[in-house]
Amino acid sequence: MNCVGCASIKSTNQPRNFYRLRRTGSSWGSGSFVKVFVSVVFIEIKLAYLVCIMVKLTESLVLGRSRASDLESVRKLNCWGSDLDDVSILKHMPNVEVVSLSVNKITSLANFAHCSKLQELYIRKNMITNLADICYLKHLPNLRTLWLSDNPCAVGDRYRLTVLKTLPNLHKLDNIAVQVEELNDAIEQGLDLHLPESSRSPSKSSSQRPQSAKKDKDRSPVEDPDKLTLEQTNKIREELGLKPVSTEKYSPVKHHRPGGSKARQANLLQAALCLVKELDVDSLEAVGNAVKDRLEAL
């Protein structure tokens, strides 16, 4: 007959039986333990993989942080400590003025070159190794504050002077106000930085060469200046009531315009036509004879 005391004794022995089953290698204890262990290892591997893959600054993240309606409306962006290493979306944010991307994994400043209205850039504690990357910021006329410290490139005795020589419009560098004396020293002691050839954008002249060549190729041939002069001559003869000169009788090889450009000749022609309208019959006859003699001489 089971009593209450015996029932309480049996209930207290249940945990011991559980551990005894796991020690003895029963199917329930060992299988469950292995499954839990494998699941934990899998989760740890997955987390390690997520840490290693690139973390990209996306449009949804930008709009969520800035509360703007679209990328062009963003004025301030703060994504501090987000493990970001891809900020290429900055190319589509030309109106942003203040950017805080400190404590991330950014390796280049190239994307900031598209933020033409940028005034303040906080990018300390990232992975920028090449100090020449600040050349991407040279054409940002409104940039006044730059915090670049705690990057691999922010080292050396002439680091600050080099940055100020490249970006002389800065008012504050690494949270320290820029002094006039520093700018003078930067001109003399700062290093000259240049982007690698592969990183430079094509020059304006080189980028326009193919287009200009194509335009020249597609452009119709320029009219012959001598032929144009024949047309002008016939226009004068028409104003004077004379018959036009035919192409066969016209000798362009003997034609000579003393030192005048096409524009100058056009101006002279216009002046002559205006004067013709003011002349009387006798004067027009005199002009007609002079023009006739001139044409015969040519």
What's the pLDDT tens digit per position in 92-117? 999 999 999 999 999 999 999 999 99
Answer whether 108's CB lies under 8 Å from 86's CB: no
Averaged pLDDT for residues 65-77: 94
pLDDT at position 31: 60
Residue 159 has pLDDT above 60, yes or no: yes
Is residue 295 very low, low, confident or very high in pLDDT (cuts 50, 70, 90)? confident
107 in Cβ contact with 87 (< 8 Å): no
* Summary mean pLDDT of the chain: 75
Region 274-278 average pLDDT: 68
pLDDT at 197 over 50: yes
Reply yes or no on domain 59-197 having CATH 3.40.190.10. no
The pLDDT of residue 33 is: 58
**147, 121 contact by CB (below 8 A):** yes
Q: What is the pLDDT of residue 164?
A: 96
Mean pLDDT score, 283-298: 77
| b/e burial code for range 253-288 (CB count within 10 A of at least 16 → b) | eeeeeeeeeeeeeeeeeeeeeeeeeeeeeeeeeebb
In the chain, domain spans: 16-52, 59-197, 225-297
**Residue whose token pair is 């020059």:** 203
**Per-residue pLDDT at 224:** 46
Tokens 């940055």 — which residue? 163
